[in-house]
Structure 1
Amino acid sequence: MTQEMGFGVVADGGGLRRALGGYPTGVCVVTGIAEDGLPHGLVTSRFIPVSIDPPLVAFVPPKDSPAWVEIAARRTFCVNVLSAQQEHLSRQFAVDAPHQFATVQWHPSSGGAPVIDGVVAWMECALDRVDDTGDHQLVVGRVRAVGENDGVPLVSCRGGFGRFAALSLAARGADLMNPLNLVDRARAEMESAAEELGGRVVAQTLVDNEVVFIASAGNLPDLRSTVAMTIGSRIPAIPPLASLFMAWEDPDLVEIWLGFVAGEEARQSARLRLEQVRARGYSVYLADPANPRNEQLLRMMAEQRLPARAEELSRDQLELIENLTVDVLDFSPRRVQEVDWLAVPVFGPDGRVSFVLGLEGLPFPTGWQDFERRLARLEQAASNVTYAIGGQVPV
Structure 2
Amino acid sequence: MKQRVFLRREAERLIANRTYTIYSKWIERVEAARPGDWVEVRDWRGELVGEGFYEGIGAVGVRVMHFEHEHLDPEVVMEERIEQAYRRRRHLARSWDGYRLVNADGDGLPGLVIDVYRRTAVLQSSSIGMDRYVSYVAEALVREGIAERVYIKNDHRGRREAGLPPYKGWAVGEGEPRESIAEADVIFNVDFEKGQKTGFFLDQRVNRINMTEFAQGRVLDLFTYTGGFAVHMLRAGAEEAVLVDESAYAVREAVGNLRANGLAGRAQVINARVEDVLEALLRRGERFDVVIADPPALIPSRELYGRGRAKYRRLYEDVFKVVSRGGLVFASSCSYFLSAEEFRQLLAEAAEAAGRSVVYIGGHWGISPDHVYRPVDRELNYLKAHLLEVE
TM-score in same-fold range (> 0.5)? no
Please say which structure displays the higher CA radius of gyration: 1
Normalised by the length of structure 2, the TM-score is 0.27
What TM-score do you get using the length of structure 1 for normalisation?
A: 0.27
